[in-house]
Amino acid sequence: MWRFLFIIAFSSLWAQTVVIDPGHGGTDRGARGKMPFCEEKRLCLQTAKLVRQYLDQLGYRVVMTRENDAFVPLARRVEIAQQASSSIFVSIHYNSARSPTAQGIEIFFCDSQDQKQKTLASKRLAETILPRLIRRTSATSRGVKRANYYVIRETIMPAVLIEGGFISNPLERAQLKTIEYQEKIARGIADGIDSYFRRKRLARLK
């Protein structure tokens, strides 16, 4: 009995809150492709729901900035993360480029001079997620990059924005639409988030 109570107390202390932010939604459809038809907002939500499922199974508390096809202003997304006292913020998007051959996965973090700690942690989070995503999907790695996107700039916790592949590339688009590939992406993201927290716990124990 005591052992059981101890495990509950320990796991609730341990439970980290992760905010998952599926990009776009509602009237903001994001990138689009034809044949096969594909909308970024739908893919983002599908991936986010799978990531939530996997993180749930690993014992994380997950808060989503949207659960359905709703338009959520960027400032509201940041507010949701703040109110949830989230440990990290992970935004999920899909890419688009003029060149139909552009392909692969990249992860952005914001390099803010006045938030050194957050910048370092965000970079570490991006560098932990990307190789796991690439291992799961075998996609091309476009690397970890700096960007000034609103949601990763304005959030106060470590924050990354994942571009999970190019909707503008017909081959990648066809792949992105399959549930098997979606599961690989979501597994890669969940693996990366879990590794980030496990490393942090280890560093604290040392």
Residues at the interface with Zn ion (CB under 5 A) = 23, 30, 93
At residue 68, φ and ψ (nearest 5 deg) are: -145, -170
Residue among 87 and 95 whose Cβ is closer to Zn ion:
95
Would you report the helix, strand and coil content of the chain in percent, each value rounded to 5?
Answer: 50, 20, 30
Ranked by CB distance to Zn ion, the top (closest) residue is 93
What's the min distance (Å) between Cβ of 163 and Zn ion?
A: 7
- Contact 134/188 with Cβ under 8 angstroms? yes
Residue among 72 and 121 whose Cβ is closer to Zn ion:
72
What's the min distance (Å) between Cβ of 1 and Zn ion?
A: 50
What's the min distance (Å) between Cβ of 187 and Zn ion?
A: 21
What's the min distance (Å) between Cβ of 119 and Zn ion?
A: 22
Beta strands in 23-116 (DSSP E): 32-33, 38-39, 61-64, 88-95, 105-109
What's the min distance (Å) between Cβ of 92 and Zn ion?
A: 9
Residue among 9 and 70 whose Cβ is closer to Zn ion:
70
Residue among 30 and 165 whose Cβ is closer to Zn ion:
30
Residue among 23 and 60 whose Cβ is closer to Zn ion:
23
- Contact 109/119 with Cβ under 8 angstroms? yes
Tokens 């109570």 appear where? 5
At residue 197, φ and ψ (nearest 5 deg) are: -70, -35
